[in-house]
Amino acid sequence: MKSLKFNSDLSKLFRYFEDTFENVLNLTTDTECVVCGSQSFGKRLCKDCALVINGPPAITTQKVGPHEVHYFGFYEDKLREFILAYKFKNHHSLAKSFGEMLYKTVVVNNIPVELITYVPATKSAKKKRGYDHMRLIAIELSKRLRIPMVDALKAVRETDQLLTKDRAEAVKGKFALRKEAKLLEGKKIILIDDVLTTGNTMLEAVRILKSAKHDNISCCVIALNKG
């Protein structure tokens, strides 16, 4: 009888370890990429999405008014999926990936920078997501470059695109200076945003910064929307 009980206990122990091993195996093989949903084998990103971060940034710029805007890549394919997952699927952990992309863009293009600031989200966008998506990216870029990030701007109204087809008019008066903006005085500033389409949002943010005599401003975005 003792032998039977021993064998039974041994069998239960074996099944326990077998089940544990299977659970660990499933964890490391059946996870999904947070960007595209493909199998990622225990990692946050699948191989194809990881390649986006590891890829080289653009060495060209996009002219917006009198400013040259640097960008990591084009708003298409995998990079577009990255941005949509971050902004609309609550994958705020991707801020680190975007910080890496912008870091590479700054370094490869030798952009002079002493302080980082960003185009802030509106109140409704922050309420919907639970965070300011560009602020999180600015924090990550600050860590990589080892220079401070400053909350220089605030969005004081929503972008009123329903009342006008003029994008420049729609963003006029959207931003205001925060008291922290005084820290930018005399510094080489980099202003970051996620996607550059018409460039009017970036121009309005630059205009407000320059109203406080912050003239040494470089502009950089994650993606350029060619459409």
Amino acid at 149: M
Report the alpha-carbon distance of residue 59 to residue 69 in Å, rounded.
11
Query: With a threshold of 0.75, does the pTM exceed it?
Result: yes
| pLDDT at residue 204 in the model | 95
pLDDT in tens, 32-68: 899 998 888 888 889 999 999 988 999 999 999 999 9
Residue 28, pLDDT above cutoff 70: no
161, HSE (Cβ side, Cα atoms, 13 Å): 4
Cα–Cα nearest to 111, from 54, 70, 144 = 70
The pLDDT, as a whole number, for residue 23 is 47
Mean of per-residue pLDDT scores for the chain: 86
Q: What pLDDT sits at residue 165?
A: 62
Largest CA distance in the chain: 90
Q: Which amino acid is at 171?
A: V
Q: What is the DSSP annotation of 77-101?
A: HHHHHHHHHHHHS--GGGHHHHHHH
Candidates 132, 221, 209; CA nearest to 175 is: 209
Contact 101, 223 (CB under 8 A): no
Contacts for 189 with CB less than 8 Å, ≥ 6 apart? 113, 114, 115, 116, 117, 209, 214, 216, 217, 218
DSSP string, 40-58: -TTSSS-HHHHHHHHSPPP
Quick one: pLDDT at residue 75?
Answer: 96
Contact 132, 119 (CB under 8 A): no
The two three-digit tokens of residue 102, written as one number: 């912008």
Residues 127 and 93: their CA atoms lie apart, in Å, by: 18
Q: What tens digit of pLDDT does each residue of 96-137 get?
A: 999 999 999 999 999 999 999 999 999 988 888 888 999 999
Residue 179 CB partners (closer than 8 Å, separation 6+)? none
User: End-to-end CA distance of the chain, in Å?
Assistant: 78
**What is the pLDDT confidence band of residue 16, given thresholds at 50, 70 and 90?**
low
Can you tell me which residue has the tokens 């002493």? 114
Give the integer Cα–Cα distance in Å for 71 and 149.
19
